[in-house]
Amino acid sequence: MRVPLLVNRGMASKIAQTTRKAFEIFSVESVTKDKLQELVQLTAQLTARDINLNLEQVRRERVTRAPVSYMEIFVNKALTVCVFVLWDDTKMPMHNHPDMHGILKVLHGTVRVQSYTEAQLNNNSGERNVVPENCKKASWLWNRDRTLGGDGKEEYVLAKKHEAIFLNAGENEAPAILYPIDGNIHEIQAVDGPAAFLDILAPSYEARFSY
Ligand SMILES: [Fe+2]
């Protein structure tokens, strides 16, 4: 479910500062660790109040019973800043954002993030479905076709499972970071009730579909 923007163009304060910093970082070719850390620190300070997010109001105004609500704050080619609400104990299914950075900051409730890194196989055939026997026990196979919807052909990706993390709302609560490869595959589950999180994704999907 998509609902209107939360923040108007004259947005001030922390969310504007964070968005400007994200734009500064992600509108250049290479993202440095130091710059990314600056953005992470700014994002950590954000709370629901900073974007006028009132979950009860969003619940009242939602027009469908979709388990996930989506709100855009800012979108251009360099980045997307948006908010997802996971109603009740909804799990956002396993997905990835190939070649993108992501910063996920919880604004309400608690989420559990389970991430995976796609394994780099030395496989000259380029055949993804061939998984070495000795990897099968220690790793996890992501059925890409089922999670993203596709032509019905199953395609398995070998991935390394990371330790799950729990993220809480609150000022100075750390966000999760996903890197273009490391930890890029993930699923997000609301824990003990609804949860909302800010997502900064760069580059934006808009950049991929423009010429
Ligand atoms: Fe995601």
The DSSP H or E segment spanning 37 is helix 33-44
CA distances from 5 to 73, 185, 206 (A): 6, 27, 17
Give the pLDDT mean for 156-160: 74
Rounded mean pLDDT of 178-187? Answer: 92
- Tokens 């000022």 sit at which residue? 171
**DSSP percent split of the chain into helix, strand, coil, nearest 5:** 25, 35, 40
Return the percentage of the chain with pLDDT > 90, whole number. Answer: 56
The domains of the chain are located at: 2-206
- Residue 143 Cα, ligand 1 centroid: separation in angstroms? 16
Q: What's the gap in Å between 211 CA and the centre of ligand 1?
A: 24
201 Cα to the center of ligand 1, angstroms: 8
What number is the average pLDDT over the span 134-163? 59
Span from the CA of 76 to the centroid of ligand 1 (angstroms): 18
Q: Is pLDDT above 70 for 28?
A: yes
Q: How many angstroms separate the alpha carbon of residue 96 from the centre of ligand 1?
A: 6
CA distance 41 to 47: 13
Architecture, CATH, for domain 2-206: Sandwich (2.60)
| CA atoms of 14 and 48, how far apart (whole Å) | 11
| 61 CA from centroid of ligand 1 (Å) | 24
120 has a pLDDT exceeding 70: no
User: In this predicted structure, what is the pLDDT of residue 140?
Assistant: 52
Q: How high is the mean pLDDT of the chain?
A: 82
Length of the chain: 211
More confident residue, 8 or 79: 79
Give pLDDT, residue 132. Answer: 54
| Ligand 1 center to 126 CA (angstroms) | 26
Cα–Cα distance measured from residue 140 to residue 116, given in angstroms and rounded to the nearest whole number? 8
pTM: 0.82
Q: What is the Å distance from ligand 1's center to 14 Cα? A: 23
In the prediction, which pLDDT does 210 show?
A: 46
Quote the ligand 1 centre to 128 CA distance (angstroms).
22
Spacing, Cα 186 to ligand 1 middle (Å): 6
Phi, psi of 21 (to 5 degrees): -65, -40
Average pLDDT value for residue range 184-193? 94
pLDDT at position 130 is 52
Q: Say how many Å lie between the CA of residue 98 and the centre of ligand 1.
A: 10
95 CA → ligand 1 middle, Å: 6
Per-residue pLDDT at 11: 52
* Amino acid making up residue 36: L
